[in-house]
Amino acid sequence: MRKKQWLIVLCAVLLLSTSIYQLVFAQQEHSQTAPGEMGKMVEKGETSEEEMFPHPFFVHMGISDKPGMLSTRLTGYRQGFNTESYQTDFAFHLETGLYNRFGLHVRNDAIKQESRTDVMLMYNVLQDKKGESGISVFGAGLIPSGTIPEDEDKVIAAFGVGGRKVFPGLVTFDGDIHYMPQMKMAEYEISGVFKATQYFFPVLEISGEIMKDETTLYLLPAIKFKLTPGKFIGVGSQIGLTSNRDFDTRALLQLDMDW
């Protein structure tokens, strides 16, 4: 690995370490909070365990997490193309709040197929009093994380805008668009996570790419089940709807965890 790549990875590790430290510190404060004070926190608008929604499958949150929050999504899937070619792959998302309005998101949606990992820093330009809904801007680097020809191993820059709207107890919408000038393309995604019961959450996602000569569109209906507060398991199927697509269908299984 080249020195530049090592420096980028080191920066990501340092940012993650800072977030984990804040997470531990927040948990210590939480354990020292008296029951009466917990009630006051709920009255002030803090999200209770009963109100927690799962994340989407592949769409990242439209705004950054609150400081000290850490979430992971681990996904395995089987995809097919032309009913002849099938492949198993994996994906991961890691999201954390670093400071007020400022967060880190690391993801790779196709670890075996995609040779780059997306490292993103996000800032909430607008947010409500609870820090749950708002609009963000972000910058990202697609860092080589697999086998890439030496003359193509530079970091690819990206930037974009995201948004999130929470209707408490009903539905959470997230959406964003990424633009990559070097690749002359944009990626878009939007999701809705709906609360059917306390343990049952239907999910719907739309995503794709916009390029000079073609546009792709994928639909992902899914279901997530709550195991314990902040821990969910989900199953879904992603379908390619345009003639230009990387796959026909994907069968997905995901573990979604807040820490």
Predicted local distance difference test score (pLDDT) of residue 29:
44
| Residue predicted with more confidence, 241 or 43 | 241
Predicted local distance difference test score (pLDDT) of residue 246:
87
| Residue predicted with more confidence, 31 or 246 | 246
> Which CATH architecture is the domain 3-258 placed in?
Beta Barrel (2.40)
Give the domain ranges of the chain. Answer: 3-258
> Tell me, what DSSP letter sits at residue 60?
P
Residues 6+ positions from 240 with CB-CB distance below 8 Å: 216, 217, 218, 246, 247, 248, 249
Predicted local distance difference test score (pLDDT) of residue 31:
46
In whole angstroms, give the CA distance from residue 102 to residue 36.
30
Predicted local distance difference test score (pLDDT) of residue 254:
98
- The answer, yes or no, to whether residue 15 has pLDDT greater than 90, is no
Q: What is the pLDDT of residues 185-204, one digit of tens each?
A: 999 999 999 999 999 999 99
First to last CA, the chain: 31
Q: Are 111 and 88 in contact (CB under 8 A)?
A: no
Q: What is the pLDDT of residues 112-133, one digit of tens each?
A: 988 889 999 999 999 999 889 9
Tokens of 211: 């390029």
In whole angstroms, give the CA distance from residue 130 to residue 173.
16
Q: What is the pLDDT of residues 216-235, one digit of tens each?
A: 999 999 999 999 999 999 99
For residue 139, which of 113, 118, 109, 125 has the smallest C-alpha distance? Answer: 118
Query: What pTM value is reported for the model?
Result: 0.79
Q: b/e per residue, 84-105, with b = 16+ CB within 10 A?
A: eeeeebebebbbbbbeebebbb
For residue 78, which of 240, 251, 253, 255 has the smallest C-alpha distance? Answer: 251
Q: What is the pLDDT of residues 80-116, one digit of tens each?
A: 987 777 899 999 999 999 999 999 999 999 999 888 8
